[in-house]
């Protein structure tokens, strides 16, 4: 008998081109799963300072998944597009015979004071993070029902557990995801489907490594110091706040929690949020 925890499973991972999505796709493959990676692999919103992911990055995830022993395929789409997600889910079920796992992880982040917001500063994060994640669940869940059960894991955030200065849209989207996760757990349990959220702390991905994110971290949004000085100040402040002394956690540190939630071992875990924050959870209320 194989000791791999996801042997024979078919998983869809959104936001697979890089960061937490890539690390988890590779970890899924290491545990024996076939992975379909979904990503927009291009610009998402004009409100973002984050460098967009690329097709090459999505392909690189594929190479890493195959090197880890997994089957791989990818679909390039925007998760705001429900039709495209439904097509990707149907294609996955047809090609691999079923779907067992959805890791609905794709997301974006930007910072803007409420008083300065234009419509896109609010709408784009709600559309991508909250509506897009629900789209992924609505597109894939019917196949999990057909499968006689399955696993849904979504990516929320510590910012879905407290307020975020200059990050109202992101925080609201990530709090909303907790409500979505718990509601989905209540509805889908009868079909043998568990639904949980992973709560990453601050992770070392392109999402967090840019000027405006550093400036928000030191509570000086319009800081115009040279980037290396600003980064060093943010690093010091973040590390000081972290019980384990880490400014940013590696994305690979999140994947084991998602693998557990996707595995048979987690068959009685549902409606829960699972923190991997380097100790930052100790600063949160929830």
Ligand X SMILES: NC(=O)c1ccc[n+]([C@@H]2O[C@H](COP(=O)([O-])OP(=O)(O)OC[C@H]3O[C@@H](n4cnc5c(N)ncnc54)[C@H](O)[C@@H]3O)[C@@H](O)[C@H]2O)c1
Pick 93 or 217: Cβ nearer ligand X? 217
CA dihedral 7, 187, 39, 108 (to 10 degrees): -130
Residue 89 lies near ligand X (rule: CB under 6 A): no
Q: Which stretch binds ligand X (CB under 6 A): 137-145, 185-193, 197-205, 221-229?
A: 197-205
Residue 176 lies near ligand X (rule: CB under 6 A): no
Tokens in use for 193? 């489907």
Residue 202 lies near ligand X (rule: CB under 6 A): yes
The edge-to-edge listing of strands for the beta sheet with 10-14 is: 72-76, 34-39, 10-14, 101-104, 150-155, 193-200, 273-276
Nearest approach in angstroms of CB 148 to ligand X is 28
CA separation for the pair 256, 105 (Å, rounded): 15
**Chain-centroid distance, C-alpha 231:** 24
Q: Which stretch binds ligand X (CB under 6 A): 90-98, 105-113, 139-147, 234-242?
A: 105-113
The full 3-state SS of 194-214, as one line of letters, equals EEEEEEECCECCCCCCCHHHH
Pick 132 or 150: Cβ nearer ligand X? 132
CA separation for the pair 151, 140 (Å, rounded): 10
Residue 206 lies near ligand X (rule: CB under 6 A): yes
Which helix or strand (DSSP H or E) is residue 35 part of?
Answer: strand 34-39
Q: Which stretch binds ligand X (CB under 6 A): 16-24, 64-72, 178-186, 236-244?
A: 16-24
* Separation in Å, CA 256 to CA 122, 176, 248, 268, 276: 32, 24, 17, 17, 10
**Interaction residues for ligand X, span 262-281 (CB under 6 A):** none
* Separation in Å, CA 210 to CA 130, 204, 217, 228: 23, 11, 11, 10
**Among all residues, which ones are annotated catalytic?**
170
Pick 109 or 270: Cβ nearer ligand X? 109
Nearest approach in angstroms of CB 39 to ligand X is 5
Residue 21 lies near ligand X (rule: CB under 6 A): yes
Q: Using CB under 6 A, count the residues that bind ligand X.
A: 33
Nearest approach in angstroms of CB 206 to ligand X is 5
- Which residues contribute to the site for ligand X (CB under 6 A)? 14-15, 17-21, 39-41, 44, 50, 53, 78-80, 105-109, 128, 132, 155, 157, 200, 202-203, 205-208, 251
């Amino acid at each position: 008998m194989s000791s791999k925890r996801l042997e024979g499973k078919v998983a869809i991972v959104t936001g697979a081109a890089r960061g937490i999505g890539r690390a988890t796709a590779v970890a899924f493959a290491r545990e024996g799963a076939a992975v379909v990676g979904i990503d927009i692999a291009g610009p998402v919103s004009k409100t973002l300072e984050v460098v967009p992911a690329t097709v090459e990055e999505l392909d690189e995830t594929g190479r890493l998944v195959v090197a880890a022993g997994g089957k791989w395929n990818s679909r390039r789409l925007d998760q705001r597009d429900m039709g495209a997600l439904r097509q990707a889910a149907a294609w996955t079920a047809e090609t691999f015979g079923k779907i067992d796992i959805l890791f609905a992880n794709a997301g974006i982040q930007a910072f803007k004071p409420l008083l300065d917001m234009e419509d896109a500063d609010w709408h784009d994060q709600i559309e991508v993070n909250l509506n897009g994640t629900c789209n992924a669940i609505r597109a894939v869940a019917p196949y999990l029902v057909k499968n006689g059960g399955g696993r849904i894991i979504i990516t929320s955030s510590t910012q879905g557990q407290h307020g975020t200065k200059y990050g109202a849209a992101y925080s609201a989207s990530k709090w909303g995801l907790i409500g979505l996760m718990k509601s989905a757990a209540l509805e889908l349990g009868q079909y043998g489907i568990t639904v949980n959220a992973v709560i990453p702390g601050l992770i070392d991905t392109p999402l967090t490594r840019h000027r405006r994110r550093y400036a928000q971290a030191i509570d000086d949004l319009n800081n115009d110091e040279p980037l290396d000085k600003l980064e060093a100040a943010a690093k010091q402040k973040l590390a000081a706040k972290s019980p384990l002394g880490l400014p940013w956690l590696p994305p690979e540190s999140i994947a084991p929690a998602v693998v557990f939630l996707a595995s048979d071992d987690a068959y009685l875990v549902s409606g829960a949020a699972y923190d991997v924050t380097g100790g930052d959870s100790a600063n949160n209320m929830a």
